[in-house]
Structure 1
Amino acid sequence: MTILVTGCAGFIGSNFVYLWAGETREQIVNVDNLTYAGNPANFESLSKDAKHVFVRGDIGDKDLISGLLAQYKPRAVLNFAAESHVDRSILGPGQFIQTNILGTFNLLECVRAYWGELGEEDRAAFRFLHVSTDEVYGSLEPEDPPFTEETPYRPNSPYSASKASSDHLVRAWFGTYGLPVLTTNCSNNYGPYQFPEKLIPLVINNALSGKTLPIYGDGQQVRDWLYVEDHCRAIMKVLAEGRLGETYNIGGRNEVANLTVVKTICAILDGLRPRADGKSYAEQIAFVKDRPGHDRRYAIDQTKIERELGWKPLENFESGMMKTVRWYLEHASWVEGVTSGAYRKWLDLQYEKKSNV
């Protein structure tokens, strides 16, 4: 048995590959275009595993995807491939439209053609699982109830709009063509292998480098934080037991403000890797001008996946954050390897040239 997984050199995808390889005997065909955030070092330890096949390529390449489907005959396709950073989508939305919308469209069409040629039993067993985000739902006020699967889509950034579009395509391919799809919408992930443009690894890296810890606006933007391995286990559960055509929200039940996240990281680093001068890393915090369209609060109601599939996160915010900080401290060479000159140039553009508030 084989599954084909797109976007597995990225953060969530690479964590999923490790979990899948460790807990199943199925072959994984791993397709990734190795953009700036795709790192083959993420799954280096699987390079000698015969069950793991890596192919560099774009989900928008029809010939490549169709060829891989014909060659490996997967029983499922899981789509992690996406441009996923809000700030980058604001500076350059074109690539988000290309990958998240047109790429998903091409993937769906290739899969539809492949699925249509399968025998009756294989057609019935086949699944297409699309991994998405809670940002498609827009922003919540402090008193609003969390997002459910029935919450209307109200994306506020080019990134979330492109992901909302891809979700609608997946839904339409189920409704129109009967393609056996599943969709998951997750809250903010954190954990090993996250590219250091995102808040948590950025803060860890900057703190250890003696740099400013930038916080947008007043730092009171609230997110529901989900440890990445918990997310990957939920995806495995949805793939195995989810109802066709359904969406499942996946969250951590950990609503925490960005400023609290940063202060928590500083406190952990104060204990594990104290500054030479004895001061707290919190002294490096600096507030910067807020970004356009910055959603105030996200929160996930995950009652459906808990009730139907029996999934619950294993980590709370404190335990997951301690694991995460320890991982980055123990993998300094990985961080150095991904923080290239191009990445540093982007950081300068995004944060250091913003005026303090």
Structure 2
Amino acid sequence: MKILVTGGAGFIGGNFVHYMVNKYPEDMIVNLDKLTYAGNLETCKPVEDKPNYKFIKGDIADREFIMDLFEKEKFDVVVNFAAESHVDRSIEDPEIFVKTNVMGTTTLLDACVKYGIQRYHQVSTDEVYGDLPLDRPDLFFTENTPLHTSSPYSSAKASADLFVLAYHRTYGLPVTISRCSNNYGPYHFPEKLIPLIISRALNDETIPVYGTGENVRDWLHVYDHCVAIDLIVRKGRVGEVYNVGGHNERTNLEVVKTVLHALNKPESLITFVTDRKGHDMRYAIDPTKLETELGWKPKYTFDTGIPMTIQWYLDNKEWWENIISGEYQNYFEKMYVEKGRAKE
């Protein structure tokens, strides 16, 4: 089976590439990534020489390129991680989020219809549901929760989800969608909360926390997310949405303090800053459908996963220091252009 993974040089996509290449040596995993600022080919370094792995640089919103690619490669399955995903950046520049997250998705869908893809899977987010009140801990997002977006990012992801479901109903395209809670784990881009805390705390720099830090997120280890996506692609019901949650709710302030304590750094590094515009208060997912239908269970709790994650960043300082310095952006030129391995 030949599987196209878009956005496979990003955080979750990169972890999924590792997982699939190693678990299914008989399958060909093709990693397509535009290599924007958040795309880091060093993330894929552990698998780049595997015989069942190939990297291609390209933009999912480039229609001519995508159609040519599908014609040449004859994919069986498409798993779409490719997306602009940082909420703050979406507030500053919504247009690029529409282009990649919406137009890019519809371009992939058109190619899937034209070339008869066996399964298209859309990796989405719990942010499409909006937020939940802090004073109702009994409420959770289910697959039937109405979409109620708060940011340009979540609006673009919700729009993409609707297009995916529309292509299933209109064209009969076999699709599935997963909506996950906040991921954490190895290879997380340093602008995100947990690696940001680690990188700044190690340098005794202040840790910015929005508002009062009371916003609640449900944390999911990226490995558990990868297992869930694999299950949904192979066994999930066509046309269905599956929520993937970790049952690990923490306030942002609790997360910051947990990491600081693990690093033996003082809480005095915490600095409260002006809150994000439209900041959602609480995310909490009910993954019952995924658990009962497909037998998924998370391997990690936050208490077991966060120490391993912190240790990974301590053991792999060069990876994230290269990102902060900008050196990671030279990896494609060094490894793929200079060595004649580029496929564009």
TM-score by length of 1: 0.89
Whole-Å separation in 2 of the counterparts to 1:46 and 1:32: 15
2:291 maps to: 306
Q: CA deviation at 1:341?
A: 5.9
Q: How well do the aligned residues superpose, as a CA RMSD in angstroms?
A: 1.3
Alignment of 1:141-156 (within 5 A): 141-142=133-134, 143=136, 145-156=139-150
Aligned positions, number: 325
| 1:91/1:340 CA distance change after superposition, 3 Å | farther
1:260 maps to: 254
2:15 maps to: 15
Q: 1:66 and 2:67 equivalent?
A: yes
Amino acid at match of 2:266: Y
Q: CA deviation at 1:50?
A: 1.7
Q: CA deviation at 1:82?
A: 0.3
Q: Deviations over 1:27-58 (max 9, x none)?
A: 11110000000001110122211211100000
2:37 maps to: 36
Secondary structure in 2 aligned to 1:218? coil
Q: Deviations over 1:236-286 (max 9, x none)?
A: 00011000000000000001100000000011111xxxxxxxxx3322011
Whole-Å separation in 2 of the counterparts to 1:68 and 1:101: 19
Which of the residues 158, 169, 181 maps onto 1:164? Answer: 158
1:274 maps to: none
Q: Deviations over 1:189-230 (max 9, x none)?
A: 001111011100000011011111010001010000000000
1:182 maps to: 176
Whole-Å separation in 2 of the counterparts to 1:341 and 1:306: 41
Whole-Å separation in 2 of the counterparts to 1:301 and 1:231: 14
Amino acid at match of 2:278: G
2:130 maps to: 138
Secondary structure in 1 aligned to 2:263? helix
Which of the residues 276, 281, 289 maps onto 2:266? Answer: 281
2:307 maps to: 322
Amino acid at match of 1:262: V
Whole-Å separation in 2 of the counterparts to 1:294 and 1:87: 10
1:83 maps to: 84
Q: CA deviation at 1:71?
A: 2.0
Which of the residues 113, 125, 129 maps onto 2:121? Answer: 129
Question: Where does structure 2 lack aligned partners over 5 or more consecutive residues?
Answer: 329-344
TM-score by length of 2: 0.92
Whole-Å separation in 2 of the counterparts to 1:64 and 1:83: 19
Alignment of 1:218-297 (within 5 A): 218-270=212-264, 280-297=265-282
Indicate the percent of aligned positions where both proteins have the same amino acid.
53
